[in-house]
Chain A
Amino acid sequence: MPQQAVPVADRHGAVCVIGAGGTGLAAIKNLRQYGFDVDCYERETGVGGAWNWRHQHSPVYSSTHLISSRPLTQFPDFPMPDDWPDYPHHSQLLAYFERYADHFALREHVWFGTEVVSLKPVSDEPGTAWDVTVRGARGGAPKTLRYAAVVACNGHNWVPRAPMFDGLDEFRGNVLHASAYKDPAQLRGKKVLVVGGGNTGCDIAVEAAQQAARCWHSTRRGYWYAPKFAFGRPADQVDAGVRGLPLWLRQRAQQRVLTRTVGDLTRLGLPKPDHKILETHPIVNSLLPYYVGHGEITPVPDVKRFEYDRVVFTDGRTAEPDVVILATGYTPRFEFVAPELIGADEEGRPHLRWQLMSRSHPTLAVAGLLQPDSGLFPLAHWQTVLFAAWLRALHTTPDPAIAWWERQRSADGRRYVDTKLKDSPRHWFEVSYRTYLKTLQKALVELDGVRT
Chain B
Amino acid sequence: MRILRTEEWADPTPHAAREVRKALPEAPTEHAPVLFVPGFGGGAWVYAENWLAHAASRGVPAYAMSPRGHGESGAAPKADLRAYTHDVVQVAASLPRQAVLVGHGAGALVVAQALARYPARAAVLLAPVFGGWGPAFGAWARNPFGVTPAIFGGALRPRRGQLFSPETPVEEQREYASRRGRASARAQWQLARHRGPEQPVGEPPVLVVGSPDDKLVPAKELDRVARRYRGSPLLFPGMGHDLMLDASWREPIDAILDWLEKNP
A residues near B, CB below 8 A?
33, 70-72, 76-79, 81-83, 102-105, 236-238, 240-241, 243-244, 382, 434, 437-438, 440-441, 444-445, 448
The answer, among A33, A79, A238, A445, for a CB contact under 8 Å with B10, is A238
Q: Which residue of A lies closest to B116 (CB)?
A: A77
Q: Which residue of A lies closest to B119 (CB)?
A: A77
Q: Is B97 an interface residue (CB 8 A)?
A: yes
Complex-state Cα separation, A382 to B1, whole angstroms:
11
Q: Are A444 and B1 in contact (CB under 8 A)?
A: yes
Q: Are A71 and B98 in contact (CB under 8 A)?
A: no
- Using known A-B contacts A79-B93, A102-B96, A437-B3, determine if residue A237 contacts B9 with beta carbons closer than 8 Å: yes
Contacts of A78 in B (CB 8 A): 93, 118
The answer, among B3, B13, B93, B202, for a CB contact under 8 Å with A33, is B202
Known: A102-B97, A437-B4, A441-B2. 17 other contacts (CB 8 A): A33-B202, A71-B8, A72-B9, A76-B3, A77-B201, A79-B93, A79-B117, A81-B93, A81-B94, A83-B15, A103-B95, A105-B97, A237-B12, A241-B6, A438-B4, A441-B1, A445-B1
Complex-state Cα separation, A311 to B203, whole angstroms:
60
Contacts of B119 in A (CB 8 A): 33, 77
Contacts of B95 in A (CB 8 A): 103
* Max count, chain A CB within 10 A of own CB: residue among B8, B13, B118: B8
Q: Closest 8 CB pairs between A and B?
A: A241-B10, A240-B9, A240-B10, A441-B3, A82-B15, A71-B12, A83-B15, A437-B3
Contacts of B203 in A (CB 8 A): 33
Q: Are A103 and B117 in contact (CB under 8 A)?
A: no
One digit per residue, 1 when the CB lies within 8 angstroms of any chain A CB and 0 when it does not, for chain B 97-126 equals 110000000000000000001110000000
Q: Are A82 and B12 in contact (CB under 8 A)?
A: yes
* Max count, chain A CB within 10 A of own CB: residue among B5, B10, B14, B97: B10
Q: Are A104 and B86 in contact (CB under 8 A)?
A: no
Q: Is B73 an interface residue (CB 8 A)?
A: no
Is chain A's binding surface mostly helix, strand, loop or mixed? helix
Q: Closest Cβ of chain A: how far from B157's Cβ, in Å?
A: 32
Q: Are B14 and A82 in contact (CB under 8 A)?
A: yes
Q: What are 5 A-B pairs with beta-carbon distances under 8 A?
A: A81-B90, A82-B13, A105-B97, A237-B10, A240-B9
Complex-state Cα separation, A440 to B1, whole angstroms:
11
B residues contacting the other copy or chain, number (CB 8 A): 29
Contacts of A448 in B (CB 8 A): 1
B residues near A, CB below 8 A?
1-6, 8-15, 86, 89-90, 93-98, 117-119, 201-203
Contacts of A81 in B (CB 8 A): 90, 93-94
Contacts of B201 in A (CB 8 A): 77
The answer, among A71, A83, A236, A441, for a CB contact under 8 Å with B4, is A441
Q: Are A240 and B6 in contact (CB under 8 A)?
A: yes
The answer, among B6, B8, B117, B118, for a CB contact under 8 Å with A243, is B6
Q: Closest Cβ of chain B: how far from A79's Cβ, in Å?
A: 6
Q: Are B1 and A79 in contact (CB under 8 A)?
A: no
Contacts of A382 in B (CB 8 A): 3
Q: Are B90 and A237 in contact (CB under 8 A)?
A: no
Contacts of B93 in A (CB 8 A): 78-79, 81, 103
Contacts of A434 in B (CB 8 A): 4
Q: Closest Cβ of chain A: how far from B19's Cβ, in Å?
A: 15
The answer, among A79, A102, A105, A441, for a CB contact under 8 Å with B89, is A79
Complex-state Cα separation, A102 to B98, whole angstroms:
9
Q: Which residue of B lies closest to A241 (CB)?
A: B10
Q: Which residue of B lies closest to A441 (CB)?
A: B3
Contacts of A237 in B (CB 8 A): 9-12
Q: Closest Cβ of chain B: how far from A353's Cβ, in Å?
A: 18
- Using known A-B contacts A77-B119, A78-B93, A82-B86, determine if residue A241 contacts B11 with beta carbons closer than 8 Å: yes
Complex-state Cα separation, A440 to B4, whole angstroms:
10
Complex-state Cα separation, A107 to B10, whole angstroms:
33
Complex-state Cα separation, A70 to B2, whole angstroms:
19
Contacts of B98 in A (CB 8 A): 103-105
Complex-state Cα separation, A320 to B97, whole angstroms:
56
Complex-state Cα separation, A70 to B6, whole angstroms:
14
